[in-house]
Amino acid sequence: MNDSKKAKECLQRIVDLFKEGNIPKALAVATIPPQAGIPSAKWSVGNRVLQFLADTSDARGFRQWQRAGRKVKKGARAFCILGPNSRTIKETDDNGQEVEKVIVTGFHAIPVFRAEDTDGESLPYEPADPPPLVDVAEEFGLSVSYQTFASKYYGCYQGDAKRIVLATHSAQVFFHELAHAAHHRVEGDLKGGQIPSQEIIAELAAASLAQMYCPETNLGFSYEYVKGYAKQSKKSIERACLAVLNTVGRVLDEILNAHLLLKVEVA
């Protein structure tokens, strides 16, 4: 496919977002200031929308990743952003002086790769140390990556893609997404979206893990989070928690048993 056709496809994707009424959400994410030093911080809004559509917050060209000390994974596929085609013309201004003016005559496609499709040196928005139980995520076959945003959430578990994406270094947020993954393993496919019972299960499990591995964690957020979803299900917080307690126990067993087995293997 030539550059001109790729560029037209990129533009069409943005136009389609307008038609579908989804551009406000895309713009809301695309205009969040990215981490300083990331090339896309200087991209146009249109290109940051294309980056949003590719489900990443950090994309760079092949050589840019090499300069950052990272390699593009074998088999990774690039997506394209738009670069302007320009030429310089001469015009006469109001004072009769000849001046040069740069005009954009079209666009060309520039292939870039997502951070999630690279390996190597740590990125500035990644934590210096991984959160506790990250080995369990790996045992579950999940990748764990960090972005400067993750839609409107601090984190998300994507079962089909087998990954956890985080926009915070908070271990408790990681525990919440790991709990979703364990819930998926013990009960099969989860329902899509923010299902109150699923969110309460994940947050109760996360709060329990936080007490075990990060005892300094303030659980006030967990209480308000569970209370909000209990209200959605028209239950008191006590009833909502009791209704899922057995499942929370199974989720914790799935995570802690996997962690115990990994420790035995290392020993």
Q: Which of 72-81, 97-106, 207-216, 245-254 bottoms out in mean pLDDT, i.e. has the lowest?
A: 97-106
CA distances from 25 to 5, 8, 81, 120 (A): 26, 22, 19, 32
Of residues 229 and 17, more confidently modeled? 229
Nearest to 157 by CA among 105, 206, 222: 206
Q: Is 211 exposed, middle or buried (0-12, 13-18, 19+ CB in 10 A)?
A: middle
Residue 24 identity: P
Sign of torsion, CA 205 211 212 216?
positive
Q: What is the pLDDT of residue 2?
A: 62
What is 249-260 written as a DSSP string?
Answer: HHHHHHHHHHHH
Per-residue pLDDT tens over the stretch 21-50: 555 555 555 544 455 568 888 888 888 888
**Most confident region among 21-30, 134-143, 214-223, 258-267 by mean pLDDT:** 134-143
Per-residue pLDDT tens over the stretch 131-188: 999 999 999 999 998 877 545 678 889 898 898 988 888 899 999 999 999 999 999 8
